Structure 1
């Protein structure tokens, strides 16, 4: 396939079938790490740029966004391809690899916060607002931008192309809400009875409950932060919480039994999808979005020393689910 721009490679990602013992229930993972910047955020970042105000489409436009990494990386790639100036506002604990990637695309990174326990998401957003007002940059404001959810309409179309109207459950991580709510809204037009389940870390407040620190990156809403307007509770049937222990244990299971590296938020979503599969009716087809690649978390989720420092316990997921998962077969 010959393309005219790197942006033409966004989307049409593969769907991976995970065998469950007995074949009575099917689990499919939409592998969004095959997008050019390695995450599903490429889709929504392009949608936000494509929907910039008409008066702001000159080549000299400046944009700014507050991001923990994946959205900023995607925006930096698109900004380079579209000749747009972009500034990313990132946490003091953002990984060096993500910062260097954004700078490699020619974008600017401003690190905000000091890691002293102050809510850095709020600091990032306040700084983005200040830059938009005082410096005239356009704040894409992913948590409240309707283009966020609209950016996943094509993802839903791809799922329908691959599986038709046979999908029974959509179980996905929820952060800004764009991927889950945008995909669910489109799928429901063809599958009215679809069960939609949002998954957040224990400690996130999207579905209520007590807020506390969590280590799953790029998902949930921490205590003290506002839940974004992109989240549409009307399309979500249930909200579930998954601990860091179980999310990261699922990441280790997928890496060692399926050769698949995924990030912590995806681990949490897949853990919940497996929980749903335990009790789902025969013939159920469960889909979850594998948000990004675990290669971005080799120094955390897959680092035994880091896990030990943070008190994370890795458990045997196959044993935990009591025979649901088919034992790996040698070929």
Structure 2
């Protein structure tokens, strides 16, 4: 197959049936849309090219810088497109959480600008957030930037309305799948594909998958974060369910080892969430070989494999070191039982303020340094969660009897660390319920560096 440009190779990715011996499904055929096979390596190739294609001639003439609030696959695709057209690319973010992605962006010639933000992702509704102000500045006319704006641009949806969705219909012989299972990041692919499938068949069931509150899965937002995305509409989804980092890695292993698909953790999370949902539907379809009262055909379901495994080896190494022949890490969050987390002590904002005033605990803010610099609880110290995680492998990082209050963005990760410290012998460690966001929303005072 011959192309005049690498961008001509974007799209037309394979739709591959997952072996029923792997899925265990008797009445449902599950298909993977292999967006990892786009030329730049991910589903974001489509959006990146669609968001820039028509604007590039004028941007080249002006000498604009292409810029996006992204620390992942969108940034990677845009950096390559910018380089092809002789333009610089800048990634604006408040935290690069995957080292391989940051290194790759630098290799591609991207400029990475890490700016303060109150939370771990852009919240466009928070008008005082420095990252939000940057977002608005980039969108102004004559700014010197071609701001692709993946969180709000209708072209993000257009990439899937005209490409991904119609391709799925075509490859299923013109029939929409009965179920579409999609991880939710910017919500571009899930919303765009769902719109196409439902226009063809309004009965298509759409399942949205988000990351569990206390977990980080590259490319998937938590249920708290996803409401901050301009393209997200909860009405798109019949069901929204969460997957954990461990479940995403388990699904990733299944795709790699059983299916020969070099998927990253987002695809793994999609597979896990799909099978968990579809096995219930399958069980309700009756015994094997039974077609139902009206002799219906086998049902079909589709999920998207967003990107590849190679960029996430450090992510796997940190969470499942045994998979890479590394010794299991002591004192890690992965070893916690649910009962330990439930038993951890949490304080609401009012109780936390009283405790700080009466007992002067050490307040540890686990957010990134830029979020901490933007706004934090007065007197707190900043130990980024990755560093805090490393400290715990060597034992308790402070005296066992010293009172400690842990704070993170929304209180989910801090309560897990409180549970771990309690197991390790700390006598009085508590978590700030609702996190720094809850503190802010309660009108409690915050200071900035």
Query: What TM-score bracket applies, with the shorter chain setting the length?
Result: 0.7 to 0.9
Instruction: Give the 3 Å change call, closer, same or farther, for CA 65–267 of structure 1 in structure 2.
Output: same
Instruction: Give the 3 Å change call, closer, same or farther, for CA 54–229 of structure 1 in structure 2.
Output: farther
Deviations 1:132-184 (A, max 9, x none): 55953232221111111111120111111110214110001011110000011
Task: Decide whether the 8 Å contact of 1:91 with 1:120 is kept in 2.
Answer: yes
**2:191 aligned with 1:181:** yes
Partner Cα distance (2:198, 2:54) in 1:
24
Partner Cα distance (1:182, 1:52) in 2:
21
Of 132, 144, 149, which residue of structure 2 is paired with 1:136? 144
Q: Which has the larger radius of gyration?
A: 2
Query: What is the count of residue pairs matched by the alignment?
Result: 302
Which stretches of structure 1, 4 residues or longer, exceed 6 Å deviation after superposition?
none
Partner Cα distance (2:106, 2:86) in 1:
15
C-alpha root-mean-square deviation of aligned residues, in Å?
2.8
More displaced stretch, 240-249 vs 166-175? 240-249
Task: Decide whether the 8 Å contact of 2:99 with 2:314 is kept in 1.
Answer: no
Partner Cα distance (1:26, 1:224) in 2:
32
Task: Decide whether the 8 Å contact of 2:66 with 2:78 is kept in 1.
Answer: no
| Matching residue of 1:170 | 180
How much does 1:28 deviate? 0.5
Task: Decide whether the 8 Å contact of 1:112 with 1:120 is kept in 2.
Answer: no
Of 62, 68, 74, which residue of structure 2 is paired with 1:71? 74
**2:264 aligned with 1:263:** yes
Task: Decide whether the 8 Å contact of 1:39 with 1:292 is kept in 2.
Answer: yes
Instruction: Give the 3 Å change call, closer, same or farther, for CA 301–16 of structure 1 in structure 2.
Output: farther
Instruction: Give the 3 Å change call, closer, same or farther, for CA 256–311 of structure 1 in structure 2.
Output: farther
Deviations 1:13-41 (A, max 9, x none): 11121122464211100111101111100
**2:333 aligned with 1:311:** yes
| Matching residue of 1:208 | none
| Matching residue of 1:275 | 276
Instruction: Give the 3 Å change call, closer, same or farther, for CA 174–225 of structure 1 in structure 2.
Output: closer
Partner Cα distance (2:113, 2:145) in 1:
14
How much does 1:111 deviate? 3.2
**2:84 aligned with 1:88:** no
Partner Cα distance (1:83, 1:59) in 2:
12
Partner Cα distance (1:234, 1:224) in 2:
17
How much does 1:249 deviate? 1.6
Structure 1 runs not aligned, ≥5 long? 204-212, 314-331
How much does 1:120 deviate? 3.4
More displaced stretch, 94-103 vs 298-307? 298-307
Q: Normalising by the residue count of structure 2, what TM-score does the alignment of the two structures yield?
A: 0.61
What SS class does the counterpart of residue 285 from structure 1 fall into?
Answer: strand
More displaced stretch, 127-136 vs 165-174? 127-136
Task: Decide whether the 8 Å contact of 2:79 with 2:109 is kept in 1.
Answer: yes
Instruction: Give the 3 Å change call, closer, same or farther, for CA 147–129 of structure 1 in structure 2.
Output: same
Q: Normalising by the residue count of structure 1, what TM-score does the alignment of the two structures yield?
A: 0.81
Structure 2 runs not aligned, ≥5 long? 123-129, 286-290, 292-297, 323-327, 336-449
Instruction: Give the 3 Å change call, closer, same or farther, for CA 29–135 of structure 1 in structure 2.
Output: same
| Matching residue of 2:316 | 301
What SS class does the counterpart of residue 216 from structure 2 fall into?
Answer: coil
Task: Decide whether the 8 Å contact of 1:42 with 1:71 is kept in 2.
Answer: yes
**2:13 aligned with 1:4:** no
